[in-house]
Amino acid sequence: MQITEIYKSLQGESTYAGLPCVFVRLTGCNLRCTWCDSEYTFHGGRRMTTGQVLDEVSRLSPGGGLVEITGGEPMLQERELIPLMQQLLDRHHQILLETSGERLLGNVPLPVIKIVDVKCPDSGEGETFRLENLHALSRNDEVKFVLASRADYEFARAFIHRHNLAGRVNAILFSPAFRKDAAGARDSSHCLLDPRQLAEWIIADNVPARLGLQLHKFIWDPAVKGV
């Protein structure tokens, strides 16, 4: 499979935030979100066999531990990714799969925790989530909305109610979008939507969502990759 990078850091944006985690970042994405901070994954990378990926994960996290499969859009390489995830499970890893849900998720092994990033209108990629994937979600999974505006917030709020999302998944995450050229200050000044404003909307509407901030952008310079 084509891999952009494999590294160890802290998980940054789910209910697993703050835990040590090995990231396997696959190359390639079929979407072009306006605020994407991972454009370096669109091209390049290096070809690795499943065995080479497993060896690198074992070197970074011997004996198990948390592994996040991310991208880009990892499900574009489903044919090789599904066996990789199965082998990681066999080696006692806990796996998070970060995906936009634009590809069908029915073949993902059940113990894999899906973190599905449903795209909102301001991403420029709204309407790309495949509604069939709602049936592939379980109580282990999480759905994330990255929000850049009030319109995005209203879209996410309506989506949650329309599809009874709180009854389907473990957590619903609302996260303010970051400017993709953010650098320097490690604070919320780079957010496209003020976290305080978002918090007040969530409280006022009693939305069953957790406010999440991208932890790594408050620990390291937001421009730094591979953390």
Where do contacts with ligand SF4 occur on this chain (CB under 6 A)?
Answer: 29, 31-33, 36, 38, 41, 71-73, 100
Question: Residue 28 or 65: which CB sits closer to ligand SF4?
Answer: 28
Backbone angles phi, psi at 174, to 5 degrees: -110, 125
Residue 99 token pair: 């995906």
- Closest separation in Å from C-beta 64 to ligand SF4: 27
Residue 6 vs 54, nearer CB to ligand SF4: 6
Residue with Cβ nearer ligand SF4 (10 or 31): 31
Q: How far is the CB of 91 from ligand SF4 (least distance, A)?
A: 27
Q: Which is nearer to ligand SF4, 42 or 58 (CB)?
A: 42
Nearest-approach distance from CB 36 to ligand SF4, in angstroms? 3
Task: In angstroms, give the least distance from the CB of 128 to ligand SF4.
Answer: 8
Nearer to ligand SF4, 13 or 73 (CB): 73
**Could you tell me the smallest distance in angstroms from the CB atom of residue 141 to ligand SF4?**
17
Q: Is the separation of the CB atoms in 172 and 142 below 8 Å? A: yes
Query: 54 or 75: whose CB is closer to ligand SF4?
Result: 75
Shortest Cβ distance from residue 120 to ligand SF4 (Å)?
A: 11
Burial of 35 (0-12, 13-18, 19+ CB in 10 A): middle
